[in-house]
Amino acid sequence: MNVACLLLPNFKINSELKRHPYLSNKQVLISGFVENKEVIVEYTNNINGVSNGSLLRDVLMKLKNPLIIEEDNQYYSYIFDNLLSGLFKVFDRIEPAKYKCMYIDISDLYIPSYGRNIEIAEEILNIIPECFNSQIGFSTGKYSSYIAALLSSPGKLNALEFNKTNIEKIPAHLLPVTDELKKRMYFLGLTSFGKIASLNKKDLLFQFGKEGGFIWDFVNGKDGSEIKPLKLKDKFSKEITFHDATNNYDALLVAVEALLFECFVLLETAKRYPKKISLICVLIGGFNWIKSVTFKTHEYDKEYAMNIFKKNLLTYPFSAPVEKITIQINELGDENGFQLNFFSGLRKESSLKNAIDEFKTRFDVESPFYKIRDLEPDSRIPERRKILVRYDP
């Protein structure tokens, strides 16, 4: 796999400067709350002696009249999603790391030539506004591409040939491991990839457990990390806007039936089946009435949906005439099935995946299942050896 890492340093600060360009030469702090303490989330480059996570009251004792902006995650999410949607128009497989970076699978586009690398990087930079000072790194794995991006300059590409000889001078603090593990390594004098690679693998395993084996492989130029691409949900929708708002149930039923027919034609053409369908009625005054139907079987049963919508329309007294009706298919599945082998483990895994998908669709929540994963298996503190990680296949 060939991966491009798009690094977005100081994303929140750059987002605020994009919204308020006149702040570009001022000392700006973004503050947020951790529990009951107000801390520094990010700050502009013209501020020294401050770090993210510092208490705001301590920072204000060092600076003269900085401009403080309260953290606005809704705005940052909006900007980040816009950047992501722009990249999805060009690339199919992207893994976003919230407000930090994006990993892009470029295996289908990558050709081992400098000119081709520049073309791909320029395509990415054309989508991302210059104000974000993006850094781009190319390599053969997810973690190594991130290091390549860290070593690049804003608006520039760094294609890292990830082999033992080429990476021996990289500092150890760039390793993709926990900060606690990095501190232990620096305490032992392991400050660069080259120093770590000079040790025997068994010594690192003895000192750091399973993580030590990963570290030894990584500093010797072995990076098998792969991205986990974001899965976009397909949506089909059709709508009718009435020339004159109406609360005539016969007219509403005819409109709903016509919209359902059009949606199911689209589904059949795309060889997909519905998991969840929503009926949205927009009333005068902006009030929305929404009714959803979920499907358990992979069938095109529009009569089933129509009967439910009909029953609810006839029993619901609208407080105002309806201006617009929308039929929206929120969740889709593939029509074509697949054959599993005789191993029961695969059948159980497939059944569990389908059950979790249906649960999430029906109740609009995250997966309620967790897996136990090793965190620090060699820790003397039992509570730190394992963690719970949400299982969402």
Given a cut of 90, whether residue 138 has pLDDT beyond it is: yes
Q: What is the mean pLDDT of residues 18-42?
A: 90
Question: Does the predicted TM-score (pTM) go above 0.75?
Answer: no
Asked if residue 303 lies in contact with residue 328, where contact means CB atoms within 8 angstroms, the answer is: no
Q: What is the pLDDT of residue 311?
A: 83
Given a cut of 90, whether residue 307 has pLDDT beyond it is: no
Give the bridge partners for 29, in sequence order: 43, 68
pLDDT in tens, 37-91: 899 999 998 998 888 988 988 888 888 888 999 999 888 988 998 898 888 888 8
- What percent of the chain is predicted at pLDDT more than 90? 31
Helix (H, G, I), strand (E, B) or coil at 122: helix
Q: What residue ranges of the chain are covered by domains with CATH 1.10.150.20?
A: 164-219
Q: What is the CA radius of gyration of the chain?
A: 27
Given a cut of 70, whether residue 240 has pLDDT beyond it is: yes
Given a cut of 90, whether residue 363 has pLDDT beyond it is: no
Nearby residues of 307 by Cβ (< 8 Å), 6 or more positions away: none
* Domain 236-334 architecture: 2-Layer Sandwich (3.30)
Q: Which CATH superfamily is domain 1-162 in?
A: Reverse transcriptase/Diguanylate cyclase domain (3.30.70.270)
Average pLDDT over the chain, rounded to an integer:
83
Evaluate the CA torsion angle 255, 261, 264, 265 in order and state its sign.
negative
Q: What is the mean pLDDT of residues 294-300?
A: 63
Q: What is the pLDDT of residue 82?
A: 86
Residue 27 φ/ψ, nearest 5 degrees: -85, 110
Q: Please name which of 31, 35, 15 lies closest in space to residue 23, comparing C-alpha atoms.
A: 15
Give the dihedral of Cα atoms 305, 311, 312, 316; nearest 10 deg.
160
Burial track 307-341 (b if 16+ CB lie within 10 A, e otherwise): eebeeebeeeebeeebbebbbbbbbbbeeeeeeee
Given a cut of 80, whether residue 346 has pLDDT beyond it is: no
Angstrom distances, CA of residue 359 to CA of 347, 352, 367, 389: 18, 10, 8, 18
Q: What is the pLDDT of residue 117?
A: 80
List, edge to edge, every strand of the sheet that includes 157-159. 94-97, 101-105, 3-7, 135-139, 157-159
Asked if residue 149 lies in contact with residue 6, where contact means CB atoms within 8 angstroms, the answer is: yes
Given a cut of 80, whether residue 291 has pLDDT beyond it is: yes
Return the amino acid letter for 45: N
Asked if residue 12 lies in contact with residue 71, where contact means CB atoms within 8 angstroms, the answer is: yes
Give the bridge partners for 329, in sequence order: 236, 277
pLDDT in tens, 149-169: 999 999 888 989 899 999 999
Q: What residue ranges of the chain are covered by domains with CATH 3.30.70.270?
A: 1-162
At residue 340 the predicted structure's pLDDT band, cuts being 50, 70 and 90, is very low
Residue spans of beta strands (DSSP E) within the chain: 3-7, 28-34, 37-43, 67-70, 94-97, 101-105, 135-139, 157-159, 236-246, 272-283, 288-294, 322-334, 370-374, 386-390
Q: What residue ranges of the chain are covered by domains with CATH 3.30.1490.100?
A: 236-334
Q: Please return the burial class of 176, using the count of CB atoms within 10 Å of its CB with bins 0-12, 13-18 and 19+.
A: middle
Asked if residue 226 lies in contact with residue 237, where contact means CB atoms within 8 angstroms, the answer is: no
Given a cut of 60, whether residue 339 has pLDDT beyond it is: no
164-219: in CATH 1.10.150.20: yes
Asked if residue 240 lies in contact with residue 325, where contact means CB atoms within 8 angstroms, the answer is: yes
Q: What is the pLDDT of residue 118?
A: 85
Asked if residue 29 lies in contact with residue 68, where contact means CB atoms within 8 angstroms, the answer is: yes
At residue 380 the predicted structure's pLDDT band, cuts being 50, 70 and 90, is confident
Instruction: List own/partner pairs for 209-212 with CB under 8 A and 24 or more apart.
Output: 209/376, 209/377, 209/378, 210/374, 210/377, 211/177, 211/181, 211/376
Distance CA 62, CA 230 (A): 42
Q: What is the pLDDT of residue 357?
A: 75
Distance CA 63, CA 330 (A): 50
Token pair in block for residue 301: 């049963």
Q: Please return the burial class of 184, using the count of CB atoms within 10 Å of its CB with bins 0-12, 13-18 and 19+.
A: middle
Return the amino acid letter for 366: E
Query: 178 or 336: whose pLDDT is higher?
Result: 178
Q: What is the mean pLDDT of residues 246-267?
A: 83
